[in-house]
Structure 1
Amino acid sequence: MSHILIIGATRGLGASLANLYASSPSNTVYGTTRSPSGPKGLNEKIVWVPNIDVSQEGVGASLVNQLGQLGVAGGMIEGKDEVRGFDIVVITAGYFATEDFTNGPKWAEQVKMYTTSSISPPFIIHSLTRAKLLPKGSKIVLVSSESGSITLRHDKEGGGNYAHHASKTALNMVGKLLSLDLKEHGVVVSIVHPGFMRTEMTKGVGFDKYWDDGGAVTPDEAAKSLIEWTEKLDISKTGEYWAPRGPRDIGTAEVTLGKNLSTPLQLPW
């Protein structure tokens, strides 16, 4: 029986992951939402952790407090059959606002992107660790993007989108550093590009025009690949940056890394 926590489970990849994990009778799935209650239309087995906003200071402490109220404990509680930690934690909450040099960067939007993507994760993981909710053998999956790879940036793509791309680069460093801190505890940290997806987020920034040519997949397809990747994860890959679906949706992969690339593909920083 696996206990799984999805940070950002109300839509897109997070919702698909929560649904797929919850479809297995042996799994108990917890999903965070910024609202007082979870959304309708998802698997009724999902246990919703309300009022969790990753853009707010104190998110880690708030998360642990809410989990405690739901009966999730970090140690053995006499006479009670309670969850004593998570086997898998996926942080997939994200925010994307486009920027270009002509119109200039946007201060508030940049702050929100950095906070959501790369500032909140270490606070969340630190709080879960201190609460003893990440036992030996736990797997942490940080959902990044190929856009966070400096090596993959190329004239073919052009500039702009400063905070989105740079916040993912920062998340990659956060994941690497967390992997060093948690390795002695036997906790795996995997940093992943889950794939270019057909989501409201990518549509909202006008990227739906690239869906077909870019090989975009549905969140359900990306979630299936990510779950398969996570099942095979072990400590040998901790702190590494991978694309479980390979190079198929990374437009600058061949021009920067060459042809005949493997799947899964380890991405360059």
Structure 2
Amino acid sequence: MTTILITGVSRGIGRAMAEEALARGHDVIGTARSDGDFGDLKGRDGFTPLVLDVTHRDGLARAVGALGQPVDILINNAGIMGPKGSALSLDDMDGFLQTLQVNALGPLMVTQAFLPALRKSERGRVLIVSSQMGSMHYAKADNIAYRSSKTAVNKIGQALATELRDDGIAVANLHPGWVRTDMGGSSADISPEESAKGILDLAQRLTIDKTGRFWNWDGSERESW
């Protein structure tokens, strides 16, 4: 039985991944910021709710202490869009900092916290839901807070892959696609369910020889970050 920990399961891709993983017969540990955010996931067979904020060290430590079981796959999904605005127009610097904290430092802090549980697995894997919007090959200035946070988390994922290789823990950054969520909008290309299925397929196939790479949701590898 595979145990998958997914951050940010209250809505969107995170919710769809939790649903799909349960349908595949996996044990799912899902995180949300409040108990009321789990909806009908709570009480489902195979689902364990964890209330935490990915940016709070004390809360992460308490969650890890309460878990007491191996984690086979950690999917760092929780994220925010942050304030709109380009590099020159954005004046909400507090919002910019919060976006960096949630989208970049959050996955790092969660991975650090749950590393002992990943090390207990026979084949631990870490996936980070990033975005092609963070690619250095996209010379765009809009949504600078979100773009910068995803560029940062791509580097963090690469560094984690380097450090965790000797532990046999594979790490992957991925672009989830342009998804019809509150963040992606109603005109986006794919549904949360399509994205979730592709991400879980990627998670199951990920091996240490492919660590440190950047993937699309459909399993194709991206040549540029």
TM-score, length of structure 1 as denominator length? 0.76
Q: Secondary structure at the match of 2:184?
A: helix
Question: What is the aligned counterpart of 2:80 among 76, 79, 95?
Answer: 95
The answer to whether the 8 Å contact 1:59/1:120 transfers is: no
Who is 2:111 aligned against? 125
Is 1:236 the equivalent of 2:209? yes
- Report the 3-state secondary structure (helix = DSSP H, G, I; strand = E; otherwise coil) of the residue aligned with 1:5: strand
Q: Distance in 2 between matches of 1:168 and 1:56?
A: 20
Task: Choose between structure 1 and 2: higher helix proportion.
Answer: 2
Report the alpha carbon displacement of residue 181 of structure 1 after superposing the two structures with TM. 1.1
Q: 1:102 deviation in Å?
A: 6.3
Task: Note closer, same or farther for the CA distance 1:94–1:183 as it changes in structure 2 (3 Å cut).
Answer: same
Q: Which residues of 2 match residues 56-135 of structure 1 at below 5 A? A: 56-65=56-65, 68=66, 72-73=67-68, 84-97=69-82, 98-100=84-86, 103-130=89-116, 134-135=120-121
SS in 1 for 2:203: helix
Aligned 8 A contact 1:2 1:28 in 2: yes
The number of residue pairs the alignment matches comes to 222
CA distance in 2, matches of 1:148, 1:142: 13
Q: Which runs of 5+ in 2 are unaligned?
A: none
Counterpart amino acid of residue 70 in structure 2: G
Q: Unaligned 5+ residue runs, structure 1?
A: 74-83, 246-262
Any residues of structure 2 matched to 1:85-234 within 5 Å, and which?
A: 85-97=70-82, 98-100=84-86, 103-130=89-116, 134-151=120-137, 153-154=138-139, 158-203=140-185, 208=186, 211=187, 216-234=189-207
Does structure 1 residue 54 correspond to structure 2 residue 54?
A: yes
Residue identity matched to 1:265: E
- Relative to structure 1, the CA distance from residue 148 to residue 132 in structure 2 (aligned partners, 3 Å threshold; closer, same or farther) is closer
Task: Write the distance in 2 (CA, Å) between the matches of 1:94 and 1:134.
Answer: 27
Larger Rg: 1
Conserved 8 A contact 2:118-2:125:
no
